[in-house]
Amino acid sequence: MKKDLNHMDVLRAVGISLVVLRHSFSPYRGSWDVSKFYDYSLTVDYIGSYISTISMPLFVFISGYIYYFLKAYLGKYSNYKILFKKKSRRLIVPYIILAPIYIYFFLDFESLKTFLAHLWTDSGHLWFLLMMYIMFLLYYKFENFLINNNIIIGILIGAFLYIISTPLIAYNFQPIGRVSRYFIFFLLGNYFSKNSLTILKLLKGKVFYIFSIHLLLFSTYFYLSNVLENKYLLIANKQMLLILSLLALCFVYGFLDFFVQKYRGFLSKINPSIRLINNTSYYIYLIHQPILKVYFTFLFVQKFSPIIGIPLAFIVSISISIFLAKIILKSKAGRELIGSK
């Protein structure tokens, strides 16, 4: 799995699909403005929350994995100036263009001040771009220390940052709060990329057990989140998300290797679909949430039960996102939007 990044094509397709799927659950979980038009469903909330323990940590993990591979094996990002230039084009340019548009159409603001506050702290799903930009710039400075020292030291630093991210986010110290929360997953992407063969040996034969532990711990976490009333106990319970996400990365990565090894024939058959999703994954991320926001405002959609509304929302948003992405990629301006040649 160290020779190339073909396996990451599969994982990235899975990762972006999980992100879109998780957002497709949002109206029924009471987490979006349009939720007032939908009945809350405990079952939907359970499944959506479960996906959340995997989706964004996996997405950040993939970024860390690919970054290390490109830098260590292909000689990319040889100095800070190159990194700054490439990530500015890849992340900041689309953020500067798209975030104001998203805020204007989908968020409430009363003045220029609140508009600018949204731009820095809350711009819908586009927070990921700003967070990853700062992540790359900060990580590059400490990379040698984190990668060349004992892995335990790095994990402890990441865990500490994850814990302090709760008060940072609560007091709106963004985007540093989110950088602190997702730092450990980016770091693990680097570790897994560097030590993939060793890690796969450790995971061999244990994937099902890790998945079972993950499911049991999540059920406990979800139950406590719904019955606990003491805010300090709720905050303590929330820290279990770190353990859940770490376990999720292990069983997803281990299952990926198992799947790639055992079902090569099947993968070759669906490879065109994987390649399509992978090649347009960034555009899917940028486009899908506005599509979902509009989709869930239609009156006929609001009459659907979750078992129909969620799969349909997923299919519609993925399909339209890919369609628009293919159109955008045909133009030079569209490719320049994310620094793609």
pLDDT attached to residue 340 = 60
CA 94 to chain CA mean position, Å: 17
pLDDT attached to residue 199 = 92
By the 10 Å C-beta count (0-12 exposed, 13-18 middle, 19+ buried), 15 is classed as buried
pLDDT attached to residue 333 = 78
Closest by CA position to 285, among listed 16, 72, 85, 97: 16
Per-residue pLDDT of the chain (341 residues), as tens digits, is 445 577 888 899 999 999 999 999 999 998 888 888 999 999 999 999 999 999 999 999 999 999 999 998 888 998 999 999 999 999 999 999 999 999 999 988 888 888 988 888 888 899 999 999 999 999 998 988 888 777 888 899 999 999 999 999 888 888 999 999 999 999 999 999 999 889 999 998 899 999 999 999 999 999 999 998 888 888 888 899 999 999 999 999 999 888 888 888 888 888 888 889 998 999 999 999 999 999 999 999 999 999 999 999 999 999 999 999 999 888 887 777 776 65
Cα–Cα distance between 143 and 152 in angstroms, integer? 15
Count of residues making up the chain: 341
Number of other CB atoms surrounding residue 108 within 10 Å: 9
Closest by CA position to 191, among listed 148, 161, 157: 148
pLDDT attached to residue 216 = 97
Four-residue CA torsion sign, 221, 227, 228, 231: positive
Three-state secondary-structure class, residue 123: strand
Which residues have CB under 8 Å from 242's CB, separation 6+?
159, 162, 163, 184
pTM beyond 0.85, yes or no: yes
CA–CA distance from 273 to each of 9, 13, 23, 159, 266 (Å)?
11, 9, 21, 36, 12
pLDDT attached to residue 192 = 94
Closest by CA position to 133, among listed 96, 173, 188: 96
pLDDT attached to residue 144 = 85
Question: Could you tell me the two tokens for 67?
Answer: 């970054």
Cα–Cα distance between 41 and 127 in angstroms, integer? 27
Task: Tell me if 169 sits within 8 A of 181, measured CB to CB.
Answer: yes
Peptide bond preceding 175 in cis form (omega within 30 of 0): yes
pLDDT attached to residue 2 = 46
